[in-house]
Amino acid sequence: MILGLLQHISIQNLIWLICLLPLVSSCINWLLSASSSKLPSKAANSLASFVGISGPLLAFFSALIVFWVLTGIENSEAFAITGPLYQWIGFGGWSIDIGLRVDQLSLVMALVVTGVGTLIHIYSIGYMRGDDGYPRYFAELNLFLFFMLLLILADNLILMFVGWEGVGLCSYLLIGFWFSDIEKAKAGKKAFVVNRIGDFAFIIGIFLIWKMLAGQPIVGGSPLNFETLERNAAFLLPIATPVCIALFIGACGKSAQIPLYVWLPDAMAGPTPVSALIHAATMVTAGVYMIARLNFLYVLSPLALNIVAYTGAATALFAATIGLTQRDIKKVLAYSTISQLGYMFLAEGVGAFGAGIFHLVTHAFFKAALFLGAGSVIHALHGEQDLFNMGGLKKYLPGTFAVFFVAALAISGIWPLAGFYSKDEILWQVYERGYTGLWVIGFITAGMTAFYMFRATSLAFFGNLRIGEDKKHHIHESSISMLVPLVLLGVLSISGGWIKNSIGTFLEPRFASVTLEEVTHHENMEHILAVISVLWAAHWAFVAWIVYVQKPSWPEAMANKFRKIHSLLMNKYFVDEIYDAIVIKPLAWISETALWKGFDIPIIDNVGVNGSGRVVGFFGKLAAVLQTGLTPHYLFFMVIGISIVVGWLVF
């Protein structure tokens, strides 16, 4: 019977389902949340988790089925569009439709987002148990998934922008999930506003495209549709550079690149599964995805590509140096995320879009594992996040430790784990395409990555337990609902890289090739570099272990010796303070002191509006002086008047 039913479901319907199932879950959970005071909390929470999990899970299965069906058709690309559901905005000549598009790129993304998303939803059951806002949490998380999938599957720029802003909204809601703490609420606001700065550039980019295509004899339907854009990319050649730079600034906001990365470390105020899903695995990769989606535009502008590459490399290095000194386990992971996103942009900037997306996929696995592992630690220690108050947890949390350790190896790029394949692919592509300087930056960053990851691992899991006696006996391994997703992500962190060749060929048709000058196969060189970088990473991982486990006095001695550098890194290069001084304070001054109190009230209102009133009043009073009410005065004025008139007439 089920098979009979399946025959009636077209692939288009399934694509809609991928996107809409989380929305349905979200709506149900919102209703639950609204009526939770009337329901017994246990029943409400069980229902919330059931609904909250089934949406993403079914979406994942739909994505899988779509994947199997589309790849099963021989001699054809994995490609499908749903066509417009309806015209969203449109008059006469043009329209922006609601429609989805599945191709190799969006399919890979949808699988990762729904897959990792489902695991994190399951993990959340254990992590959020007992929280007051339990149904609200799932409602917001499901809503996030909906917008993320909309962003990925959208078939035009405007709809993508809807998803783009929508995930920003959910990020805002979830960072400030525990809004009684004003600092957390502020972190959410900061994330949204900084993202809005990026979005500002993003929509300017869209407008530029719009202006350029207006009136051109374009082939195809709606001008902002990706299909149309790709076919008419030639019309955009004159403005490719400004468009690509504007869109990239948008990506900088969402994907936390210099100079707009400042919101991401603060975003760690949200619940840890949120950090894993939104601020590590999925939402922050939206910028990477967007550039890959529009690769046909970016290849038109070598300058923009170079900017992408250099920004990515700079961010990778910059964030890694900050990561070296952070005390908060989640902040370490946050800077590590910024740094890894830098790698992805580096890859895209040199034209290796496939490598960027590949790293996005493996990063989603191991970074989610790291975050969930950190969450498990924080959960066990009742909210403790300072690495220097942990230590020796290997014994107490063996499962968490195993996954965290494996994921740390993976992110450091140790063979044969996932991170090795993707990072090595990026570094190799950078090297092969002749960007030796960028390669050096990437290589140094790889060493730092290994160092700070094993610094965190050593501080948390090895050495002596530095936690208070009273809390010691509370430490417990996480529940099964948290461990299962952890272990699955750990397995993916190991094996995720083995698909390197197949994902490469799968994605290939989507990417415009950046012409290389006669690629000669340097296979030996590739292998030599791979071996060097593994040794390099392993070396730094080992050093970190020595320094933080064997010689715990060294870090302090080092910090004292290089106090200036240490405090610079510790304080994140004072970037927040600098932004506060050059952007926020002046803006507040302009808005309040200069414009409102300095111009609006005294000049416009007082001088202009009330001033004209006073002038009229003054003349009124002047005229009133003449109106004495005494007849002799009036007679006198009359005589003067008559004599003037008569005089005028006579002479």
Partner 1 sequence: MKGYFPLFLLLQTGMTGVFVALDFFLFYFFWEVMLLPMYFLIGIWGGPRREYAAIKFFLYTLVGSVMMLLVMIAFYFYSEGNTFNILTLMDQSVHIGPMTAHNFRLLCWLGLMIAFAIKVPVFPFHTWLPDAHVEAPTAISVILAGILLKMGTYGMIRFCYPIFPDITFEFAKWIAVFGMINIVYGALCAMAQKDFKRLIAYSSISHMGFCLLGMASFTNEGMNGAVLQMFNHGTITAQLFLIVGIIYDRVHHRDLEGFGGLAHIMPRYAVWTAIAFFAALGLPGLSGFISEALVFLGAFKMWPWYTAVSVSGVVLTAAYVLWTYQRVFLGKINEKYKNLPEISWRETVTLAPLALIVVILGVYPKAMLDIMNATLVGINQLFVK
We find the least distance from the C-beta atom of residue 88 to partner 1, in angstroms, to be 7
Q: Does 233 bind partner 1 (CB under 8 A)?
A: no
Residue of 64, 193, 499, 570 that binds partner 1 (CB under 8 A) = 193
State which amino acid sits at residue 327: R
As beta bridge partners, residue 98 has: 86
The residue among 92 and 629 lying less far from partner 1, judged by its C-beta, is: 92
Please check whether residue 289 is in contact with residue 107, taking contact to mean a CB–CB distance below 8 angstroms. Answer: no
Q: Does 242 bind partner 1 (CB under 8 A)?
A: no
- Residue 478 has which token pair? 């996480």
State which amino acid sits at residue 563: R
State which amino acid sits at residue 129: R
| Helix residue ranges per DSSP H, 73-156 | 104-128, 134-153
Which secondary-structure segment (H or E) carries 351? none
The residue among 79 and 178 lying less far from partner 1, judged by its C-beta, is: 178
* CA–CA dist 438, 423 (Å, integer): 14
We find the least distance from the C-beta atom of residue 247 to partner 1, in angstroms, to be 14
Per DSSP, the three-state class of 390 is: coil
We find the least distance from the C-beta atom of residue 301 to partner 1, in angstroms, to be 19
Tell me which stretch binds partner 1 (CB under 8 A): 193-201, 308-316, 323-331, 622-630. Answer: 193-201
Tell me which stretch binds partner 1 (CB under 8 A): 11-19, 71-79, 204-212, 507-515. Answer: 204-212
* CA–CA dist 485, 506 (Å, integer): 27
Q: Say which residue the tokens 């190896």 belong to.
A: 409
Q: Say which residue the tokens 């947890």 belong to.
A: 393
The residue among 180 and 524 lying less far from partner 1, judged by its C-beta, is: 180
Instruction: Write out the binding residues for partner 1, residues 15-54 only, by CB under 8 A.
Output: 34
As beta bridge partners, residue 95 has: 90
Tell me which stretch binds partner 1 (CB under 8 A): 163-171, 295-303, 431-439, 530-538. Answer: 163-171
We find the least distance from the C-beta atom of residue 214 to partner 1, in angstroms, to be 6
The residue among 177 and 506 lying less far from partner 1, judged by its C-beta, is: 177
Tell me which stretch binds partner 1 (CB under 8 A): 57-65, 165-173, 384-392, 543-551. Answer: 165-173
Strands 80-81 and 101-102: antiparallel
As beta bridge partners, residue 328 has: 386
As beta bridge partners, residue 532 has: none
Q: Say which residue the tokens 């992408």 belong to.
A: 308
We find the least distance from the C-beta atom of residue 142 to partner 1, in angstroms, to be 15
- Residues 6+ positions from 316 with CB-CB distance below 8 Å: 339, 340, 342, 343, 346, 441, 442, 445
Please check whether residue 47 is in contact with residue 108, taking contact to mean a CB–CB distance below 8 angstroms. Answer: no
Instruction: Write out the binding residues for partner 1, residues 83-112 only, by CB under 8 A.
Output: 86-92
Report in angstroms the alpha-carbon separations of 75 from 78, 108, 377: 10, 19, 49
We find the least distance from the C-beta atom of residue 13 to partner 1, in angstroms, to be 20
# of chain residues touching partner 1 (CB under 8 A): 50
We find the least distance from the C-beta atom of residue 34 to partner 1, in angstroms, to be 7
Which secondary-structure segment (H or E) carries 80? strand 80-81
Closest to 374 in 3D by CA, of 447, 449, 456, 448: 456
Cis peptide bond prior to 22, omega within 30° of 0: no
The residue among 164 and 401 lying less far from partner 1, judged by its C-beta, is: 164
Site string for partner 1, 337-356 (x = CB under 8 A): --------------------
The residue among 36 and 478 lying less far from partner 1, judged by its C-beta, is: 36
Residue of 27, 39, 65, 197 that binds partner 1 (CB under 8 A) = 197
* CA–CA dist 75, 130 (Å, integer): 52
Q: What single-letter DSSP state applies at residue 610?
A: I
* CA–CA dist 572, 263 (Å, integer): 13
Residue of 20, 162, 218, 543 that binds partner 1 (CB under 8 A) = 162
Site string for partner 1, 581-620 (x = CB under 8 A): ------xx-xxx--xxx--x---xx--xx---x-------
We find the least distance from the C-beta atom of residue 194 to partner 1, in angstroms, to be 9
Say how many residues make up the chain: 651
Number of H helices, E strands in the chain: 29, 4
We find the least distance from the C-beta atom of residue 32 to partner 1, in angstroms, to be 13
The residue among 556 and 592 lying less far from partner 1, judged by its C-beta, is: 592
Tell me which stretch binds partner 1 (CB under 8 A): 47-55, 59-67, 81-89, 305-313. Answer: 81-89
Query: First CA to last CA across the chain, in angstroms?
Result: 115
We find the least distance from the C-beta atom of residue 595 to partner 1, in angstroms, to be 5
Q: Does 580 bind partner 1 (CB under 8 A)?
A: no
- Residue 560 has which token pair? 């004292």
Q: Does 640 bind partner 1 (CB under 8 A)?
A: no
Residue of 50, 61, 79, 200 that binds partner 1 (CB under 8 A) = 200
We find the least distance from the C-beta atom of residue 121 to partner 1, in angstroms, to be 22
Interface residues toward partner 1, by CB under 8 A = 34, 86-92, 158, 161-162, 165-166, 169, 172, 176, 179-182, 185-186, 189, 192-193, 196-197, 199-200, 203-204, 207-208, 210-211, 214, 587-588, 590-592, 595-597, 600, 604-605, 608-609, 613
